[in-house]
Structure 1
Amino acid sequence: MTSLPEDSDSTGTAPEPDADEAEKIVCARCGTSAPGPRPTWTCSVENGIRHYFCDNCARDNLRAIEGRLDSAWW
């Protein structure tokens, strides 16, 4: 039986992601993955989407990041 969002028995919440899936992040530039947020990685929000960059990619493009250029430019 399917219930509508207005029904009182419907919670309206999305299924919880797996712990591994929620913790894994991937560098938007080179594809390096990490098991969770790293203090040396950089996070950038471009057009409302969060992008993570590994420490190597962040170092290579530090001036562009500080100039707040979208990653498409570098």
Structure 2
Amino acid sequence: MVSCSSCGATAEAPLGWMTEITERGPVYLCDRCSRENIRSIEGRLDPVYW
């Protein structure tokens, strides 16, 4: 079971959730929070993706 780092939602099998690997380990964002925060997520991507 994982929980969203933004809203605290939990899921057994988080299909559609975003996962970010940090120094502390994996961080999860649910599909709703991912859609709401897509611009900030894109801003953190490596320039090589653009």
| TM-score, normalization by structure 1 | 0.53
Q: In percent, how many aligned pairs have the same letter?
A: 40
Q: CA deviation at 1:37?
A: 3.0
In 2: Cα distance, 1:35 partner to 1:53 partner: 14
Unaligned 5+ runs, structure 1:
1-23, 70-74
Report 1:1-74 matches (<5 A).
24-38=1-15, 40-68=16-44
Structure having the higher Rg: 1
Instruction: Identify the structure with the greater helix proportion.
Output: 2
Superposition RMSD in Å: 1.6
Q: CA deviation at 1:66?
A: 1.2
